[in-house]
Amino acid sequence: MKTVGSLTHQNGSIQACSLDELGIGCQGQVVEVNGDHRVRRRLLEMGFCNGASITVIRRAPLGDPIEFELRGYHLSLRSDQARYVRVVQISKPPNDID
């Protein structure tokens, strides 16, 4: 069973979001890669596979592109490309106070 937008976990439901929605310093885990065949294949070849951990490093001054750390290297994606990657947030920025 495939659920878009959420992922079932032992403790209930954990909400997934698109990669472009994560804030600077947040870490996430890839749960789904969408897009047409070419886009999806390109993202998978760059390492955006299910289970991969990713950290948002920074955003350009106008918000696009976004720099990520994935599998030990840094890469940048435009927001429209990052929207195809669905992630579950696994940690907030170190200085984020609730």
pLDDT mean over 76-81: 94
Number of residues in the chain: 98
Write down the mean pLDDT value for the chain: 84
| 53, 28 contact by CB (below 8 A) | yes
The reported pTM is 0.76
Residue pLDDT, tens place only, 44-60: 999 999 999 999 999 99
Q: Would you kindly state where each structural domain of the chain is located, as residue ranges? A: 16-91
Residue pLDDT, tens place only, 19-30: 999 999 999 999
How many Cα atoms within 13 Å fall on the side-chain side of residue 5? 0
List the CATH code of the domain at 16-91: 2.30.30.90
Q: How far apart are CA 32 and CA 17, in angstroms?
A: 10
Q: Which two tokens stand for residue 5?
A: 């937008």
